[in-house]
Chain A
């Protein structure tokens, strides 16, 4: 029997309707995803690269059971994210760019809340939370301070710990290193590799940092205006973009060649 893939999407599409303005434009439909298909294998870090508004977060939300696709299918270990949402939620967790927490509560209180929602006991959860945040280089003398007193980098590390405390088999990291200082970025990247190697988990990693994707991801897909325009290992994509003018292209060059624009100035589209 063939083992189900941690993640498979087949022709997933999603559009959002934006209301019109009084006396101005009428309602408009924004096509956030156009028939997106991809596969993530076990133990793989899969990079989804694209500018803001390219549809990365919409895809992540669909996989995380937070959005319903208009058409197509997404499965996690063979389970449909819409029909079998309850089972999928046990297998998946997500870390997003916004480190959303109860800001008056401490990291331990926030993590304990998450752990309880996943049915973990307090003692087990606190021990695991401490182990994870320590592994991420979080200062342990601050674990009982309110989140609002912590730096952006420290909050993001707690967000990553929240994603890991439930030991997900598929981890969705939606721009987890955006806004982090270089040292924190490196610590997070090291930790992501460790999860892949030690827990055999699959990781879907969205970013618009091309160097980070190049260094971290086993395979990447480039997204533009809701479509996957190229997919493969970064070495393969770079080989394809090689030319007489550009004998040694970077992933950034590949992105520009495929989309016609730099990653910073992507289309203005809601995710």
Chain B
């Protein structure tokens, strides 16, 4: 019994090591974190005020409460999902920046353990920020959530986390292969997801060719499912149309993300790119 606990600890310590290290770094860079949190809160509340002003701008009677929940759901969810994606990718960019990447790659851990540690940090970090931003919104706006099915919304959010982690792992390959510009390249992917996934509008308004892209973005299904749960109180059973694609993208994207990362690692070891700092 004692031996099996020790064996499990040996495997879990590296995962915890990644999480603890990155939270220690956040503590040291607390001023950046505070700035980023204030900036994110300002962005989300601006969207809330935009929703409240639509009726006045259009000069027509509109369902303001519905628009508010629709847009805030999109805004909050986007902050969570984009941070989940970018933080997973940034863990590698950070190591490039500090020059420690060779030491991490020399450690006797499997790549699964390494990527699990990276992803776990991103989920905890993005989740904590989502809670803080949701509290800010609750304090600023009167949200009518009488209809909302919160457990169903949480299920959609939880499932979409896996897909985004898979995408994040693919994004993390970019700073690995391109030390100087990889991080900026992840920004392009993030911007693309923002446009095609219907964060602030229904994807029906997109031109036909962009709508095709929206069908392959897991965020499209996340937003649709979350809005159905928050606005209509949709049950888990009625969200099959969103939960099934999210399950498929999670099942596909996580192994694919690991394969892409593995390929990027081999490429770097063949060409000597691990040595270069970003």
Q: Which residues of A contact B (CB under 8 A)?
A: 16-17, 58, 61, 64-68, 86-87, 89-90, 92-94, 96, 98, 100-105, 109, 112-121, 146, 162
Q: Could you list 15 examples of A-B contacts with CB < 8 Å?
A: A16-B271, A61-B274, A65-B269, A87-B108, A89-B107, A100-B100, A101-B98, A102-B21, A105-B28, A113-B20, A116-B17, A117-B107, A119-B9, A120-B13, A121-B9
- For the A-B complex with A103-B98, A104-B25, A109-B24 known, give 16 more contacts whose Cβ atoms are closer than 8 Å: A61-B102, A61-B274, A67-B269, A86-B110, A89-B107, A100-B100, A100-B277, A105-B24, A105-B28, A114-B107, A116-B14, A117-B14, A118-B107, A119-B14, A121-B9, A121-B13
What's the minimum C-beta distance from B75 to chain A, rounded to whole angstroms?
Answer: 31
B208 in contact (CB, < 8 A): no
**In the complex, what distance in Å separates the CA atom of A137 from the CA atom of B210?**
63
On whether the beta carbons of B100 and A89 are closer than 8 Å, the reply is: no
Q: Name B257-278 residues within 8 Å CB distance of A.
A: 266, 269-272, 274-275, 277
What's the minimum C-beta distance from A144 to chain B, rounded to whole angstroms?
Answer: 12
Scoring B17, B25, B269 by chain A CB atoms within 10 A of each residue's CB, the highest score goes to B17
On whether the beta carbons of A146 and B28 are closer than 8 Å, the reply is: yes
**In the complex, what distance in Å separates the CA atom of A118 from the CA atom of B9?**
11
On whether the beta carbons of B270 and A66 are closer than 8 Å, the reply is: no
On whether the beta carbons of B10 and A119 are closer than 8 Å, the reply is: yes
B25 cross-chain contacts in A, Cβ below 8 A: 102, 104-105
**Partner among B11, B28, B269, B274 whose Cβ is within 8 Å of the Cβ of A119:** B11
B104 cross-chain contacts in A, Cβ below 8 A: 117
On whether the beta carbons of A86 and B108 are closer than 8 Å, the reply is: yes
B103 cross-chain contacts in A, Cβ below 8 A: 100, 114, 162
Scoring B10, B21, B105, B274 by chain A CB atoms within 10 A of each residue's CB, the highest score goes to B21
What's the minimum C-beta distance from B219 to chain A, rounded to whole angstroms?
Answer: 32
A120 cross-chain contacts in B, Cβ below 8 A: 13
B202 in contact (CB, < 8 A): no
What's the minimum C-beta distance from A170 to chain B, rounded to whole angstroms?
Answer: 12
B108 cross-chain contacts in A, Cβ below 8 A: 86-87, 89-90, 117-119
Q: Name B64-89 residues within 8 Å CB distance of A.
A: none
Q: Name B2-25 residues within 8 Å CB distance of A.
A: 9-11, 13-14, 16-17, 20-21, 24-25
B14 cross-chain contacts in A, Cβ below 8 A: 116-119
CB-CB under 8 A for A102 and B109, given A16-B272, A68-B266, A121-B13: no
B11 cross-chain contacts in A, Cβ below 8 A: 119
On whether the beta carbons of A109 and B21 are closer than 8 Å, the reply is: yes
B106 in contact (CB, < 8 A): yes
A162 cross-chain contacts in B, Cβ below 8 A: 103
B106 cross-chain contacts in A, Cβ below 8 A: 64-66, 89, 92-94
On whether the beta carbons of B20 and A66 are closer than 8 Å, the reply is: no
Q: Name B96-118 residues within 8 Å CB distance of A.
A: 98-100, 102-110
Q: Name B111-162 residues within 8 Å CB distance of A.
A: none
On whether the beta carbons of B107 and A100 are closer than 8 Å, the reply is: no
A102 cross-chain contacts in B, Cβ below 8 A: 21, 24-25, 98, 100
On whether the beta carbons of B20 and A116 are closer than 8 Å, the reply is: yes
B29 in contact (CB, < 8 A): yes
A86 cross-chain contacts in B, Cβ below 8 A: 108, 110
**In the complex, what distance in Å separates the CA atom of A89 from the CA atom of B113?**
15
What's the minimum C-beta distance from B26 to chain A, rounded to whole angstroms?
Answer: 10
**Partner among A98, A116, A117, A121 whose Cβ is within 8 Å of the Cβ of B99:** A98
A103 cross-chain contacts in B, Cβ below 8 A: 98
On whether the beta carbons of B17 and A66 are closer than 8 Å, the reply is: no
What's the minimum C-beta distance from B14 to chain A, rounded to whole angstroms?
Answer: 5
CB-CB under 8 A for A66 and B100, given A119-B11, A119-B14: no
What's the minimum C-beta distance from A157 to chain B, rounded to whole angstroms?
Answer: 16
B10 cross-chain contacts in A, Cβ below 8 A: 119
A121 cross-chain contacts in B, Cβ below 8 A: 9, 13
**Partner among A66, A90, A114, A116 whose Cβ is within 8 Å of the Cβ of B274:** A66
**In the complex, what distance in Å separates the CA atom of A68 from the CA atom of B270?**
5
On whether the beta carbons of B29 and A104 are closer than 8 Å, the reply is: yes
What's the minimum C-beta distance from A149 to chain B, rounded to whole angstroms?
Answer: 12
On whether the beta carbons of B99 and A100 are closer than 8 Å, the reply is: yes
**In the complex, what distance in Å separates the CA atom of A74 from the CA atom of B102?**
19
What's the minimum C-beta distance from B117 to chain A, rounded to whole angstroms?
Answer: 9
On whether the beta carbons of B100 and A101 are closer than 8 Å, the reply is: yes
What's the minimum C-beta distance from A114 to chain B, rounded to whole angstroms?
Answer: 7
A67 cross-chain contacts in B, Cβ below 8 A: 269-270, 272, 274
**In the complex, what distance in Å separates the CA atom of A116 from the CA atom of B19?**
11
**In the complex, what distance in Å separates the CA atom of A101 from the CA atom of B101?**
10
A61 cross-chain contacts in B, Cβ below 8 A: 102, 272, 274-275
On whether the beta carbons of B13 and A116 are closer than 8 Å, the reply is: yes
